[in-house]
Amino acid sequence: MSGMPVLLRGTKLRALVVDGGEVATRKVAALLDTGASVRVVAPEISAALRELATLRGDKLRLAERPYAATDLGDANIVVAATSSREVNASVARDADLEGRLVNVVDAPDEGGWTAMATHAAGDLVIAVSAAGVPGAARRVRDAIAARFDGRYADGLSRLAALRRRTISTRGGAEWRRAAADLTDASFCDDVEKGAFAGRVARWEREDAWR
């Protein structure tokens, strides 16, 4: 599957999840973890979802009834997670007509987005897609996570702080010069060997002297 990977800001998302079963519960939990506001519409709501709603009532609303096209409301992202091919296809059509991004769990090609296995280390976020096989994506994600650990979180935190300070005091052109040096071909080796902090410190000292 081809596509353009994007990183969505969860706090900007208003999600509709259609269904209240096990798959929907996982989708809802993942969306809540991003900071999204979530509505669930389903004839039956799982106990796990009810518990989530008790804990996260500020971000999660439940409606125990069959789906209707009007449920799209203000949602800008939609998940069709039912076990009914007919209902999922209906949700996908309605979402497409309204220009909403939709994920269709039983027919990913009908939707405009799919979930990926992700690894986060601070501000470093890596996402893996594996031909619609979530188990394989998780295995690859875990292998990546073993290398790209907290060392990268620390390095990127220092890099981001330097970026803000340099742009503020010396302008974008000077930041681009620093970034070209600090993110050259040795970037990963330096982070993993503990040498990156020293490289950033040299640019920090240069900032201080100017």
pLDDT at 99 over 60: yes
Average pLDDT, integer, range 185-197: 95
Whether residues 74 and 38 share a domain: the answer is yes
Q: Are residues 57 and 130 in the same domain?
A: no
The whole domain housing 122 covers 116-145
Shared-domain flag, residues 96 and 35: yes
Compute the mean pLDDT over every residue in the chain, rounded to the nearest whole number: 91
Q: Are residues 29 and 69 in the same domain?
A: yes
Give DSSP secondary structure letters for 62-124. EEES---GGGGTT-SEEEE--S-HHHHHHHHHHHHHTT-EEEETT-GGGSS----EEEEETTE
Find the mean pLDDT for residues 93-116. 91
Chain segment 28-77, per-residue pLDDT in tens? 999 999 899 999 999 999 999 999 999 988 899 999 999 999 999 999 99
* Tokens standing for residue 173: 């052109």
CATH number at residue 30: 3.40.50.720
Domain count, the chain: 3
Is residue 97 domain-shared with residue 122, that is, in the same domain? no
**One domain, residues 141 and 164:** no
| Domain match, 132 and 169 both | no
Angle value at C-alpha 90, between 84 and 94, nearest 5 degrees: 150
Give the pLDDT of residue 156. Answer: 95
C-alpha dihedral sign at 37, 40, 46, 51: positive
Q: What pLDDT does residue 6 have?
A: 78
Residue 66 maps to a domain: yes
* One domain for residues 45 and 59: yes
Cβ-contact 30, 115 below 8 angstroms = yes
Length of the chain (residues): 210
Residue at 97 is within a domain:
yes
Is residue 2 in some structural domain? no
Contact present, 76 and 101 (Cβ < 8 Å): yes
| Residue found under tokens 């039912």 | 82
